[in-house]
Structure 1
Amino acid sequence: MKVNYFKNRIAQIFWNGDNSLQFSSLRYLPRWVVIAIDLLLVVISFYISFLLLENINASLYSVLSIYQQALFFILVYLAFFFVFSTYSGLIRHSTFVDIFKIALACLSASVLIIIVNYSYDFLYDEKVFLMPFLIINTSITFASLLSFRVVVKRFYSFASQNKQKSYKVLIVGVDDESIALAKALKNSKSQNFNLAGFISFRKEHQRIKILGKPIIRYGNKFYEKIAPMKVSGLIIAGSQLSTTQKNELVDKALANHLKIFNVPEITQWSDQEDVSSKIKEIQIEDLLERDAIQLDDSQISSYLEDRIVLITGAAGSIGSEMVRQVSTYHPKCVLILDQAESPLYDLELELKDQFPNVAYQVVLADVRRKDRLEQIFKANKISVVFHAAAYKHVPMIEKNPKEAVCVNILGTVILADLSVKYGIDRFVMVSTDKAVNPTNVMGASKRAAEMYVQSLQQQAKTTTKFITTRFGNVLGSNGSVIPYFKKQIETGGPVTVTHQDIIRYFMTIPEACQLVLQAGTMGNGGEIFVFDMGKPVRIMDLAERMIKLSGFQPYEDIDIKIIGLRPGEKLFEELLSNTSTTLPTHHQKIMITIDSYLDYEIVMNHIHEITNAAINEDDVVVVSKIKLLVPEFISKNSVFELLDKELNL
């Protein structure tokens, strides 16, 4: 039974069901196997040494038989294998230390045998072992033990390369960051990337070599020069290239069917982590990144440090990042409020791990419930409110306008009124560029919320500073286009674009939240702050580039289909209305928009009518009431377009 078990076990380790070798999946050789193989090599080396002596007509001494001498050698070597632990390391990762151990074991065994040999000669005037035999045997034994480890290491490396795709790559740049990456790749265990050379943007580097690898100048004939090298990818290290340079490089590389990889700055590497695991295929988000934002931390700290801060919508993509960034300014306590139970719990676990010294209160609540919110304001001396809770999915809200009224409008009204009642210092509302000349219910509901806090600011009893921040699409946020395109590409397409000419502004989540924090330090209340969103991105170009970055060809491997604008969607978003003007601030990426505002009583009367319609009437009445409050709300691609004709909008 035991014999059959070992046979089956060996078969499982080295073979799979289709009769192919599985050496690469073997994690390591057990220590007893290493010792057994080493002892076998000792025996083989002994036999080879004996044959060599026979060929030169030399004979061993007759004190011990050939078998007794072989057994003595085995026991001596076995002892020193244990003394120096030659079996303890993983063979496939053998280093100079392991080689040194083998050398010491062989040398020590030889010295002991020589001592025994001459001691016997001193006592009995006769030698046991022939000295030339000892010298030959030591050399052959060391060579065989070393060769065994080299062969295993090479074989494992070959098997690993066959199992994992290996890329022949050029590293962009010749600075310290690039050279450090090259050295790390050279010492990498996984060998997923084979370095072919470096790319320089300067002519004087052409005749220089780094780590024995050539430097190729990037220019007009660059791709012709590297064609004979069979390069399959480029690695961009750190942030040495500007966004413009990176985009130009990526576009041309993709056109020449090369993979593009990114690796973070060397300061973000972990000594315990293989550098290959840090190298990732470049993502579209990496190409849309903008220059780093410079914040005035002292101003932000002055209104957050040692204060109680309430963040609504805290489990969402924007809200959760707001929580993380606020936590770095040493608040007294952060109230994280959301009605989504599971995401809120996940966020709580993350915060306990990342910010163990910050006090949090996890509040499961709905911004539509005034009684619940008032309990929270009563129980906590809140200084700052960041209001990020909102419904924001345009087509979904177009079908459910009553929900937009309840959450986006009434939720804001309730929070704003409680902030005034309980003397909150600052109320920072997260709005959207869709509130500008809105063409959908979602944007119009956010504009109505803006109008309410602006009018409330003008009330004599109001001491709270109401600050509104307005920005466009956020990369990676829930429901944004990039994750949607990624899913479509993963399933083989087609990628769906609503219109060939549609464009959008994009901003990263951390950048948006940083600007919200900074805007919270500005103004006397009532202002709407708009952010510099950079250049707009054509969504068709975005789709084509994402397909190329995934290793496919647009329209060949993965198709792009135009499906028509969705309800409420427009071709381009605006940050300013037709009647707005802007003023600069001390931060170059933040401007103040000057909008006219209505009297509080007028806004309040409209909101009462909108609320009553949401409770008692159908969606058409609700939307018509919103249009009366927000006259610039002109529906597009929506069933509510008829209302604009009726209202002569």
Structure 2
Amino acid sequence: MSQPTSSPAPSQPLDPNQGPNAAVRSHQIQKFAIDLGLWTLAAALAYLYRKPSALTGGLGATALSAGVLAYFLLSALIMAALSSYYGLYRQTWRRIGVPDLLLLLRAVLLATVLGLAAAFLLHGILDLPRSVPLLTGGLGLLLLGGVRLLARVLHERVPLEQRTDQRRVLIVGAGEAGTLIVREMLRHPKSKLHPVGFVDDAPDKRGTRLVGLPVFGPVSTLPDVVRREGVEEVLIAVPSAAGTFVRRVVDLAKDTGVSYRIIPGVFEILSGNVTLGQIRDVNLEDLLRRPAVQLNTAEIAGYLRGRTVLVTGAGGSIGSEIVRQILPFGPARVILLGRGEGSIFAIQQELRRLAPELPQLALIGDVRDAERVEQVFRETRPQVVFHAAAHKHVPLMEAAPSEAILNNVIGTRNVVDMSLKYGVERLVNISTDKAVNPTSVMGASKRMAEKTVSAGAARAAAGQAFVSVRFGNVLGSRGSVVPTFMRQIRQGGPVTVTHPEMTRYFMTIPEAARLVLQAGGLAENGKVYVLNMGEPVNISDLARDVIRLSGAQDIEVVYSGVRPGEKLYEELLTSSEGTDATTHSEIFSARLERVDPETLDRDIAGLEAAARAGDSQHIRAELNRIIPENKFGSLG
């Protein structure tokens, strides 16, 4: 019999007169005594039903009473032992749940079996009817379970006089998250949130009641319910909802003139609980998010657990999120490498808070510095490398081609060379959709970075896998348009968009990081993985969503013209590539042209010489020569 998963009993007796532990211990003793009392009562009721003369007197009553008392004592001892073993007295009755009741059921079933064994073995001594232990178990389960449920009901009951000044809230989503958040509201009347019911599109939930509240109907009935029930706020409680669903609910709430908020998406909820503190305003990520991506966690853990993991660009938006996302997969050590000391310090402090026991090392260094990169690899010996350090801003790199080459191409070459030299098991390079048919220096430099990783893969030893992961824009990253829109709104507008037909692919930072980890788990050496970015988003529509969510009025959207190097439409594949399916539905493998490592070495050497000389014209000419699939002709 395996030990149940409950908090261990105190190793030493607690002094009932010392501190807050004394109160806890006192409550545990009270619950222990109540359980034993109710179990003994169940035994008495069982005897009273099966053999009332044993309790009410009659011929031989003295002998029978002794037998009854002996059974009561034996039954109480059995339940005391099981209560201690299963930790029933440590259960919090006010928050009793199904797992707690299942643990109680296990204890009661075992007590019943032991009681039946006693009935068979001691029948002649105790004169114990064999049905009495069965009746004791059934009645005991009802009494012990009932007192726990009663405690929860009394705890969650909110007196009507406390609800007069509370906001009436309609919950969208009658699932697990919705019922959890309603219970939180009922437990905390000081939050001044009074749930009136649910709306949910699931046909089997309509007309039912959950947590004592009605499910009024589908989401389309929201305006009618708001008017009929006097609703003042709508709360979206569907963590896995796609952005189209969130947008639909927001539009309905706006049309009825009530406020709206949301609980976090699945990527933000790390525990099984939903609390009032997690309720927040709807943001742009909610409107654009897609259904939750299912990850093969075993596959990810297989290459991260027990490994030393190096993240370059660890202070950036993508690099820092990768750091956060690898924590649950059990790395042995995390190395944070970046050249911005402020951002590296910030993620270092966050990592110390999130995983204080995890060995970690924060290092300041530039991937362009080959000697520094080798020093880091030589001293830390990473086994898994996520290369996120890069320049990503298209117009700025258009004005500084040398910086794009030195950071994105030479920096990647340095990381690849050291990964080969020091036997890195897995290198994952973070690429971009702008590397496809590039029309900008930044995009071309990232395409060269992909080629560099592919050339390294051709030289890799057995057991090494070097891959790139290509995806589009990331909401909330430093290069995203959203912070620019928000700044323009705070300044009173207008919001500038380059072209009315411009579209981009978007995903959230956590989703991008998780898919990067998953792609690393696939790791067929030399592959470029393409993430399923969903449908492209019109930037003009995005700007209007930001304006609407900000609550601003009369903010105009104006068009400033396409900037140097920008495309109207981004692509995830060249016309000659195509994709192959992988074992993950959201990740595809691009079919790439063969990269000749020696030819590429010469090309990179020419680009490096031009970059160090500051010869922008030669850089552009070389990029056009090396990348003939450049869609719109010359980069110059």
- Counterpart mapping for 1:461-500 below 5 A: 464-500=464-500
Which one is further off, 406-415 or 592-601? 592-601
Tell me the TM-score normalised to structure 1 length: 0.67
Equivalent position of 2:594 in the other structure:
597
- What is the letter of the counterpart of residue 302 of structure 1? G
- Counterpart mapping for 1:403-414 below 5 A: 403-414=403-414
Q: CA-atom RMSD, angstroms?
A: 3.3
Q: CA deviation at 1:535?
A: 1.4
1:211 to 1:428, Cα distance in 2 relative to 1, 3 A:
closer
Cα distance in 2 for residues equivalent to 1:388 and 1:290 = 24
1:632 to 1:174, Cα distance in 2 relative to 1, 3 A:
closer
Is 2:610 the partner of 1:610? no
SS in 2 for 1:573: coil
Say if 2:504 and 2:569, in contact at 8 Å, map to a contact too: yes
Equivalent position of 1:401 in the other structure:
401
Q: 1:561 aligns with which of 542, 558, 563?
A: 558
- What is the letter of the counterpart of residue 358 of structure 1? L
Cα distance in 1 for residues equivalent to 2:309 and 2:206 = 57
Q: Deviations over 1:410-464 (max 9, x none)?
A: 0011111122122222221111110001111111000011112222333487974
- Counterpart mapping for 1:98-177 below 5 A: 167-175=167-175, 177=177
SS in 2 for 1:430: strand
SS in 2 for 1:603: helix
Q: CA deviation at 1:598?
A: 3.3
- What is the letter of the counterpart of residue 469 of structure 2? T
- What is the letter of the counterpart of residue 446 of structure 1? K
Cα distance in 1 for residues equivalent to 2:573 and 2:623 = 20
Cα distance in 2 for residues equivalent to 1:270 and 1:379 = 36
Cα distance in 2 for residues equivalent to 1:265 and 1:562 = 33
- The number of residue pairs the alignment matches comes to 477
Equivalent position of 2:571 in the other structure:
574
SS in 2 for 1:344: helix
Say if 1:325 and 1:513, in contact at 8 Å, map to a contact too: yes
Is 2:627 the partner of 1:630? yes
Equivalent position of 1:291 in the other structure:
291
Q: Deviations over 1:598-619 (max 9, x none)?
A: 3222212221111111122432
Cα distance in 1 for residues equivalent to 2:204 and 2:311 = 55
Equivalent position of 2:419 in the other structure:
419
SS in 2 for 1:521: helix
Equivalent position of 1:127 in the other structure:
none
- Counterpart mapping for 1:514-529 below 5 A: 514-529=514-529
Equivalent position of 1:108 in the other structure:
none
Which one is further off, 388-397 or 243-252? 243-252
- Counterpart mapping for 1:63-74 below 5 A: none
Cα distance in 1 for residues equivalent to 2:272 and 2:294 = 30
Which one is further off, 346-355 or 217-226? 217-226
Say if 2:335 and 2:363, in contact at 8 Å, map to a contact too: yes
1:422 to 1:251, Cα distance in 2 relative to 1, 3 A:
same
Tell me the TM-score normalised to structure 2 length: 0.68
Q: Structure 2 unaligned runs (5+)? A: 1-158
Q: CA deviation at 1:174?
A: 4.0
1:227 to 1:314, Cα distance in 2 relative to 1, 3 A:
same
Q: CA deviation at 1:311?
A: 1.2
Say if 1:456 and 1:462, in contact at 8 Å, map to a contact too: no
1:196 to 1:485, Cα distance in 2 relative to 1, 3 A:
farther
Equivalent position of 2:29 in the other structure:
none
Say if 2:387 and 2:427, in contact at 8 Å, map to a contact too: yes
Cα distance in 2 for residues equivalent to 1:515 and 1:583 = 17
Q: Structure 1 unaligned runs (5+)? A: 1-152, 644-649
Is 2:512 the partner of 1:512? yes
Q: CA deviation at 1:319?
A: 0.8
Say if 1:386 and 1:428, in contact at 8 Å, map to a contact too: yes
Equivalent position of 1:97 in the other structure:
none
Q: CA deviation at 1:313?
A: 0.5
Say if 1:585 and 1:591, in contact at 8 Å, map to a contact too: yes
Say if 1:254 and 1:548, in contact at 8 Å, map to a contact too: no
1:277 to 1:359, Cα distance in 2 relative to 1, 3 A:
closer
Equivalent position of 2:122 in the other structure:
none
SS in 1 for 2:453: helix
- Counterpart mapping for 1:282-431 below 5 A: 282-431=282-431
Say if 1:420 and 1:463, in contact at 8 Å, map to a contact too: no
1:368 to 1:549, Cα distance in 2 relative to 1, 3 A:
same
Say if 1:451 and 1:597, in contact at 8 Å, map to a contact too: no
SS in 2 for 1:564: coil
SS in 2 for 1:575: coil
Cα distance in 2 for residues equivalent to 1:345 and 1:592 = 36
Q: CA deviation at 1:212?
A: 8.2
- What is the letter of the counterpart of residue 611 of structure 1? E
Say if 1:259 and 1:281, in contact at 8 Å, map to a contact too: no
Is 2:622 the partner of 1:621? no
Say if 1:568 and 1:635, in contact at 8 Å, map to a contact too: no
- What is the letter of the counterpart of residue 393 of structure 1? H
Cα distance in 2 for residues equivalent to 1:475 and 1:490 = 19
Is 2:250 the partner of 1:250? yes
Cα distance in 2 for residues equivalent to 1:308 and 1:561 = 49
Q: CA deviation at 1:200?
A: 4.3
1:213 to 1:492, Cα distance in 2 relative to 1, 3 A:
farther
- What is the letter of the counterpart of residue 583 of structure 1? D
Say if 2:162 and 2:189, in contact at 8 Å, map to a contact too: no
Q: Deviations over 1:21-61 (max 9, x none)?
A: xxxxxxxxxxxxxxxxxxxxxxxxxxxxxxxxxxxxxxxxx
Equivalent position of 1:68 in the other structure:
none
Say if 1:530 and 1:592, in contact at 8 Å, map to a contact too: yes
Q: CA deviation at 1:502?
A: 1.3
1:251 to 1:524, Cα distance in 2 relative to 1, 3 A:
same
Cα distance in 1 for residues equivalent to 2:270 and 2:308 = 35
Cα distance in 1 for residues equivalent to 2:401 and 2:304 = 35
SS in 2 for 1:458: helix
Cα distance in 2 for residues equivalent to 1:353 and 1:190 = 30
1:515 to 1:270, Cα distance in 2 relative to 1, 3 A:
closer
1:310 to 1:201, Cα distance in 2 relative to 1, 3 A:
closer
Cα distance in 1 for residues equivalent to 2:436 and 2:265 = 39
1:156 to 1:433, Cα distance in 2 relative to 1, 3 A:
same
Q: Deviations over 1:605-645 (max 9, x none)?
A: 22111111112243222222222111223569xxx75x4xx
Say if 1:198 and 1:213, in contact at 8 Å, map to a contact too: yes
Cα distance in 2 for residues equivalent to 1:169 and 1:263 = 13
Which one is further off, 422-431 or 275-284? 275-284
- What is the letter of the counterpart of residue 599 of structure 1? D
1:500 to 1:382, Cα distance in 2 relative to 1, 3 A:
same
Percent identical: 38
Cα distance in 2 for residues equivalent to 1:329 and 1:240 = 22
Cα distance in 2 for residues equivalent to 1:287 and 1:630 = 37
1:543 to 1:169, Cα distance in 2 relative to 1, 3 A:
farther
- Counterpart mapping for 1:222-301 below 5 A: 222-224=222-224, 226-227=226-227, 231-239=231-239, 241-264=241-264, 276-301=276-301
Q: CA deviation at 1:250?
A: 2.2
1:225 to 1:370, Cα distance in 2 relative to 1, 3 A:
closer
Cα distance in 2 for residues equivalent to 1:305 and 1:627 = 42
- What is the letter of the counterpart of residue 545 of structure 1? D
Is 2:584 the partner of 1:584? no
Q: CA deviation at 1:573?
A: 1.0
Equivalent position of 1:85 in the other structure:
none
- What is the letter of the counterpart of residue 296 of structure 2? D
Cα distance in 2 for residues equivalent to 1:269 and 1:189 = 26
Q: Deviations over 1:564-623 (max 9, x none)?
A: 222211111111001112111111111110111332222122211111111224322222
- Counterpart mapping for 1:45-124 below 5 A: none
Q: Deviations over 1:116-142 (max 9, x none)?
A: xxxxxxxxxxxxxxxxxxxxxxxxxxx
